[in-house]
Amino acid sequence: MTKNPFINALSATAYIILIASIMTLGTKNMKGPDTVMAPIVALSVFTLSAGVMGYLFLLQPLLLYLEGKKKAGVALFIKTLGTFALTTGVILTLFFTRILK
């Protein structure tokens, strides 16, 4: 992605919000029996998400690391992860204080 940990972490958050919104809206009006499609969709979204998160979190740090900029690569990964952890903490706080429902 980028060498900006804030953009990487916020992109991951935006992706999660998008997928959760699609899943919520998509299942709101579903009626009928469960089929094999539910686990297929769940595993497909899980696999896609693993790839997207790997791209957002690991691509630039890995490239820096392989270019011999090991400290910069590790620092970028830690900053991205830390920013995402803070974002997750804010979302959890808003959820548990019932600001977000």
Q: Is 76 a domain residue? A: yes
pLDDT at residue 20 in the model: 92
Count the alpha carbons within 13 Å of 46 in the hemisphere toward its beta carbon.
6
Q: Which residue segment(s) compose the domain that 42 sits in?
A: 5-19+35-96
Q: Is 57 a domain residue? A: yes
What residue ranges of the chain have pLDDT lower than 50?
A: none
The beta-carbon contacts of 87-94 under 8 Å, at least 24 apart in sequence, are 87/9, 87/10, 87/13, 88/13, 91/13
Per the structure, the count of domains in the chain is 1
Q: Is 10 a domain residue? A: yes
Q: What is the pLDDT of residues 73-92, one digit of tens each?
A: 999 999 999 999 999 999 99
* Among 66, 65, 67, 68, CA closest to 76: 65
Dist CA 13 CA 6 (whole Å):
10
Q: Is 101 a domain residue? A: no
